[in-house]
Amino acid sequence: MGVSDRIKALADMIAASPIAAVVSDPRLKDNPIVDCNQAFVDLTGYSRGEIIGRNCRFLAGPETEPDLTSLLRQGIVARRPVMVEIVNYKKDGKPFRNAVMVAPIFDATGELEYFLGSQVEVIQDASARANPRRKAALAEIEKLTPRQREALKKMASGKPNKQIAFDMNISERTVKMHIADALRALGAPTRADAIRLMVEAGL
Ligand SMILES: Cc1cc2nc3c(=O)[nH]c(=O)nc-3n(C[C@H](O)[C@H](O)[C@H](O)COP(=O)(O)O)c2cc1C
């Protein structure tokens, strides 16, 4: 894949998602955001121009829990998907509880290429947190066939189609088909939505 194809694939991954999402480039200094979707602009109140080029920690503030920031940092360093519900701030200074998911995306040679981040404002109070989301996500994933689930699980761990094809001993075309069918079954508009669902389900 050439550079322009990769940029297009990246934009396609989040552009059509109704869930706020960003993509960061860990090859650049301080892992800055290189793309975000309209839902992220709507959620945070910042314009695209204020977002691109910054590390995502600009959403943190005085009440942000340091132990949760630390969990995010550890996930990023270890290159594994991580999800926390952390206090963040909108541009107008209003705090909100952000169920943020960060997941690595690897290229066909196994190199870390990007991080996908997605953000959902959590309305429930502390006692109602975490479990319902996990149950709902698991119920959704029950709709998939075992092969679809396997392909999606590998996708959510950041593997490119080529690697998934190799792991499952099927063609890349079949991988794409399984993933497209899975997205349809889940009603997930983009790969980013499906990755988020898998991480929410703890798979
Ligand atoms: C793609 C991506 C999205 C992120 N989204 C958020 C977010 O929405 N809110 C947040 O508080 N941190 C988010 N982070 C985490 C921060 O960017 C940063 O990694 C974290 O604050 C820990 O690093 P620090 O201790 O250097 O600040 C995200 C990270 C990445 C890579």
pLDDT in tens, 64-75: 999 999 999 999
User: Ligand 1 pocket check: which of 22, 56, 114 to mutate, most ligand atoms within 8 Å of Cβ?
Assistant: 56
Residue 177 DSSP SS3: helix
Measured from the Cα of 114, ligand 1's closest atom is: 1
36 lines ligand 1 (CB under 6 A): no
Cβ burial, residue 171 (10 Å; 0-12/13-18/19+): exposed
* Structural domains of the chain sorted by starting position, each given as residue range(s) with its CATH number in brackets: 1-129 (3.30.450.20), 130-203 (1.10.10.10)
110-146: per-residue pLDDT in tens?
999 999 999 999 876 555 555 677 888 888 898 999 9
195 lines ligand 1 (CB under 6 A): no
Measured from the Cα of 60, ligand 1's closest atom is: 11
Looking at per-residue pLDDT, the higher value among 183 and 3 belongs to 183
Q: From ligand 1's centre to the CA of 125, what distance in Å?
A: 23
Measured from the Cα of 64, ligand 1's closest atom is: 11
Asked if 1 contacts 111 with a C-beta cutoff of 8 angstroms, the reply is no
Q: pTM for the full model?
A: 0.84
Q: From ligand 1's centre to the CA of 57, what distance in Å?
A: 5
What does the alpha-carbon distance between residue 149 and residue 84 come to, in Å, rounded to a whole number? 23
What does the alpha-carbon distance between residue 100 and residue 107 come to, in Å, rounded to a whole number? 23
C-alpha separations of 96 from 29, 48, 60, 99, 104 in Å: 28, 20, 10, 10, 25
Confidence of residue 2 (pLDDT cuts 50, 70, 90): low
